[in-house]
């Protein structure tokens, strides 16, 4: 009898101890590439279930790494290139302890990980996100000994980042060295809240453009630099990113596609994939899927917009916005009265937008 009671008592105490080590935490994404919680504190050997809710209008993931491994994981994720989407933009390497899948807006996923004592970064490894969208999990029995958040080097801090890479800012207008093409989901002036800034390679600072994912269209393009995101890194995430360079093209019209003869539906943005580091945007309107890849001209100032359309028997028209000093050159058809009527069955065409 005593032996039975001892076993029952032992099992109950083990269950209680296990329950104390199980922790559930929910994290959400917020505007400006931010996690709503950037510093989590748990006891060592806690079995942590982390739920990530994506409340942004862009897909994200959440990756927990080994201590001091965030930048390395982000670099390997970027190097995945076209393989990234199939792997949820998560590289296969020992530095990755746990991760969610790619999470579309409005959805959620979870991960479970047990952490010994230490500081474990968590980060979104989507292209262009990992530099500012991150935080840290501290597994410790002495939380009072942790650094204050404003001095914590495991947390995003604009002043510290700018100081650490000051020599890059003078040359590029950006607080750290960038490898172009570069993709940033951020807040841009004269654009909707779902702006995607893309920096392109080229001489004299290259060219850049902003794609509005909310309206599924190119908003403007500039040359002479990319962006300075420093003011986004104070955790508020609502400030406009500074544009570096001079705008040479601005689309003042609306959504450029006219599909069919019936009422035009609101276009639906379906994300993007990387092709040799260049983003190819995908959106659907009136049952037609359109993919748009934008590259710089081989020489001169201008963009080559490459469109791929799903099969459709509906008439398709692309509307251009005339402006001084800008020339439009389509690969099929020609511009008449500010519009390009595509031949029936056209599956792909390009439009070069250049300065005269």
pLDDT score of 346: 94
Q: Do 197 and 336 belong together in one domain?
A: yes
Q: Is residue 9 part of a domain?
A: no
Angle at 31 between CA 279 and CA 188, to 5 degrees: 60
What's the structural domain count of the chain?
2
> In terms of pLDDT, which residue wins out, 128 or 147?
147
What is the 8-class DSSP label of residue 264? Answer: P
Whether this prediction's pTM lies above 0.85 is answered by no
> In terms of C-beta density within 10 A (0-12 exposed, 13-18 middle, 19 or more buried), how is residue 276 classed?
exposed
CB neighbour list of residue 263: distance below 8 Å, 6 or more residues apart: none
- 219-276 per-position pLDDT tens digit: 999 999 998 866 655 444 456 888 999 999 999 889 999 998 888 899 999 888 888 8
Residue 4 lies in a domain: no
Please check whether residue 277 lies inside any domain of the structure.
yes
Give the per-residue pLDDT at 250: 94
Which pLDDT tens digit goes with each residue over 143-164? 999 999 888 989 986 544 444 3
- Whether 39 and 142 map to the same domain: the answer is yes
Owning domain of residue 68: 23-166
Query: Chain-wide mean pLDDT for the chain?
Result: 85
Residue 222's alpha-carbon distances to 179, 301, 306, 334, in angstroms, are: 18, 9, 18, 25
Tell me: do 156 and 124 sit in the same domain: yes
pLDDT digits 0-9 by tens, 98-115:
999 999 888 999 999 999
**Same domain assignment for residues 188 and 162:** no
In a shared domain, residues 318 and 191: yes
In a domain, 226, yes or no: yes
Residue 39 has pLDDT above 70, yes or no: yes
The answer to whether residues 114 and 260 belong to one domain is no
Nearest C-alpha neighbor of 305 from the set 281, 341, 269? 281
When pLDDT is cut at 50, 70 and 90, the band that residue 169 belongs to is very low
Same domain, 69 and 142: yes
DSSP 280: E
Query: Based on the domain organization, do 97 and 187 belong to the same domain?
Result: no
Does position 182 have pLDDT exceeding 80, yes or no? Answer: yes
Torsional sign, CA 270, 276, 277, 278? negative
> Is residue 15 included in any domain, yes or no?
no
Residue 86, domain CATH: 2.60.40.420
Angstrom distance (rounded) from CA 211 to CA 299: 22
Within this chain, do residues 117 and 228 fall inside the same structural domain, yes or no? no
Q: Are 139 and 222 in the same domain?
A: no
Same domain, 310 and 208: yes
Domain boundary among 135, 166, 197: 166
- Reported as type and span, the H/E element at residue 25 is strand 22-30
pLDDT at 91 over 90: yes
222 inside domain:
yes
Is 62 within 8 Å of 27 (Cβ atoms)?
yes
Share of the chain above pLDDT 90, in %: 54
Domain end point (choices 114, 140, 166): 166
Residue 330 CB coordination number (10 Å): 17
Q: Is position 283 within any domain?
A: yes
How far is 355 from 207, CA to CA, in rounded Å? Answer: 13
**Structural domain contains residue 30:** yes
Mark which of 166, 199, 219 sits at the end of a domain: 166
Q: How confident is the model at residue 33 (pLDDT cuts 50, 70, 90)?
A: confident
| Band of residue 331 on the pLDDT scale cut at 50, 70, 90 | very high
User: Does residue 254 sit in the same domain as residue 341?
Assistant: yes
Instruction: Give kind and range of the element (H or E) at residue 19.
Output: helix 2-21
Q: Are 165 and 176 in contact (CB under 8 A)?
A: yes
């Amino acid at each position: 009898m005593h032996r039975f009671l001892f076993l029952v008592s032992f099992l109950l105490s083990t269950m209680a101890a296990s329950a104390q080590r199980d922790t559930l935490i929910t994290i959400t994404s917020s505007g400006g590439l931010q996690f709503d919680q950037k510093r989590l504190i748990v006891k060592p050997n806690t079995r942590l279930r982390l739920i990530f809710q994506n409340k942004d209008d862009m897909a994200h993931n959440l990756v927990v790494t080994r201590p001091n491994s965030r930048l390395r994981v982000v670099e390997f994720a970027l190097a995945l290139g076209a393989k990234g989407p199939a792997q949820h933009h998560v590289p296969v390497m020992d530095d990755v302890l746990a991760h969610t899948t790619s999470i579309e807006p409005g959805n959620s996923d979870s991960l479970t990980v047990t952490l010994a004592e230490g500081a474990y970064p968590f980060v979104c490894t989507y292209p262009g996100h990992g530099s500012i969208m991150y935080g840290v999990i501290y597994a410790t029995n002495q939380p009072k000994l942790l650094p204050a958040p404003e001095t914590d080097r495991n947390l995003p801090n604009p002043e510290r980042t700018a100081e650490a890479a000051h020599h890059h800012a003078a040359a590029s207008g950006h607080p750290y060295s960038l490898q172009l093409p570069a993709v940033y989901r951020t807040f841009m002036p004269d654009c909707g809240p779902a702006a995607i800034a893309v920096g392109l390679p080229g001489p004299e600072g290259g060219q850049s453009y902003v794609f509005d994912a909310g309206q599924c269209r190119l908003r403007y393009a500039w040359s002479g630099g990319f962006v300075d995101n420093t003011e986004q890194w104070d955790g508020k995430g609502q400030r406009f990113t500074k544009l570096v360079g001079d705008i040479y093209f601005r689309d003042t019209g609306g959504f450029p596609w006219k599909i069919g003869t019936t009422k035009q539906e609101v276009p639906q943005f379906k994300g993007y994939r990387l092709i040799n580091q260049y983003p190819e945007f995908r959106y659907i309107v009136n049952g037609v899927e359109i993919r748009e890849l934008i590259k710089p001209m081989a020489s001169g100032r201008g963009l080559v917009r490459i469109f791929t359309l799903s099969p459709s028997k509906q008439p398709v028209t692309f509307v251009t916005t005339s402006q001084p000093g800008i020339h439009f050159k389509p690969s099929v058809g020609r511009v008449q009265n500010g519009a390009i009527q595509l031949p029936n069955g056209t599956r792909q065409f390009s439009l070069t937008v250049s300065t005269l």
